Amino acid sequence: MERTESTRNNKFFQRVRVGIFCLLIVLEAFILFQNIRWELVFGAVPSWVLVLVIELIFTFSNFLKTFVLEEFRHKITCYVIDFLSQLALTLIVNSTYLSAVYLLMLSEFYMSTERLSDCIGMGSASLFCFVATRGIAAYYFMRAGIFDTVFACLGEIFILIFHFLLVNFALHVYDSRQRMAKSLQELDESNRKLKEAYDELAEVTALQERQRIAREIHDTAGHSITTVIMQTEAAKLIVERDPEEAKRRIIAANLQAKNALEELRQSVHVLAGEAAEESLKDSFDRVIRESTDGTDVVIRSDVADIVCSSEKKRFLTNTLKEGIANGLRHGHATAFYVELCERDGQISFLLSDNGAGSDVEKMKSGFGLSGMYGGTERFGGKMEISSASGEGLEIRISIPAEGRRATEAESPDRAAGATDGQTPPAAAEGAKATAARANDGKNPRNSSAEGAKEESEKTGGERA
């Protein structure tokens, strides 16, 4: 068993050590007065002088232990001196105070050592040497009888053993109380830090929730209102030339405004955890439909039905809304190309437009773009924006997938074709058209968007 540092060095035990030192001086004085004799020892030295010298050595050693030395390993030499001094006193004097001196010396040792094994060793050595020396002195020098000598030794043995048990038990109880008090203090400190961490976590969680709500409102209402503005602006331009078409676009704007209100309600349900299930492809189709109905905007899409979590689905849908809204509002784009697929365990999202473009280095990172970057980082993906003045803009996002495409799960033949490396016809034709436009010298970034615009105008001409 080890004692704590506070047990060895705190103020209470230092006061006890000072008290032991003072008691030792008093007991040494009593022993000296009891043994003032003028008999010569070694033929020349009076016995009391020898006793005084031994006591002075013993006192100086205890002074060093009490007031100078602090660590136990530095006191070992002093304990050896104390032990030898007491053995010498036991041999040359006959005093009832010797046992008390031994007990005080051992008490100070028990308080100073860190290990119980040291206490056992010191106690056993002191017991054996003190009893043996006391017995030899009583039998040979004091001429006591064998029975008296044995009886006195047994009494000393009982006193030393009882002292060892009593002092070490008291120290053990004190150490246990100290450790318990320290544990309770550490527990209180841990609880305080835990409460502070909980408060900080609650504050961070509340801030994240506010940001999420702001993103939901920004992505849903911002996109829908942008579409309404585009429809009303288009109607304003043609109201005199084609009133019927203007009327149709105003009606579409009205429907879009109603859709915006419905989206806000859906956002409230999402925040409350009561959102209705909708596939990712359906969400993309709805956004594309809302963006093109009643406007001159053309959006060409190649969207696979991918299974993913509701958080990723909401993030990708809001990214599509924000990208289209930014292209319309800032880039004045008229055509977009959207691609969503899963390859190599990654969900790949692409949105390009034929807008005015911008220098990426000078592009301001507003709330929408920061939300895109933050969401991509949150899901462990990467996001790239490429653009140049007059060359449109392209957004590429790649995030880890969570499952197979729904169409692959439902159609094994199609899944087998995909794994064989075959490209779906529509995607292949779109890729060929994009490559052809790029070879003709057109900008590869907005070639898909321009292709969507050309296809829309061709379809419109055939209908007319």
Overall average pLDDT of the 64-84 stretch: 87
Query: Residues 179, 184, 185, 190: is their CA dihedral positive or negative?
Result: positive
Burial class (CB in 10 A: 0-12, 13-18, 19+), 90: buried
Residue with tokens 């053993």: 161
The predicted pLDDT at position 405 comes to 42
Lowest mean pLDDT: which of 203-207, 262-266, 317-321, 421-425? 421-425
Instruction: Compute CA distances 285 → 280, 305, 317, 415, whole Å.
Output: 9, 11, 10, 22
- The model's pLDDT over 250-306, given as tens digits with 9 standing for 90+, comes to 866 775 676 677 667 766 666 665 555 678 898 899 888 878 876 778 999 999 988
The predicted pLDDT at position 347 comes to 94
Overall average pLDDT of the 307-329 stretch: 84
Using DSSP's 3-state secondary structure scheme, residue 80 falls into helix
Using DSSP's 3-state secondary structure scheme, residue 338 falls into strand
The predicted pLDDT at position 2 comes to 46
Instruction: Compute CA distances 15 → 22, 66, 73, whole Å.
Output: 11, 10, 21
Phi–psi pair at 96, nearest 5 degrees: -75, -10
Q: CA-to-CA distance for 268 and 142, rounded, in angstroms?
A: 103
Q: CA-to-CA distance for 309 and 279, rounded, in angstroms?
A: 10
Tell whether domain 279-463 is in CATH 3.30.565.10. yes
Q: By C-alpha distance, which of 25, 102, 20, 10 is closest to 56? A: 25
Residue with tokens 């509002």: 329
The two tokens of residue 32 are 């000296």
Q: By C-alpha distance, which of 263, 265, 231, 261 is closest to 248? A: 231
- The model's pLDDT over 335-355, given as tens digits with 9 standing for 90+, comes to 999 999 998 899 999 999 998
Give kind and range of the element (H or E) at residue 148.
helix 146-238
**In the chain, where are the structural domains located?**
5-144, 279-463
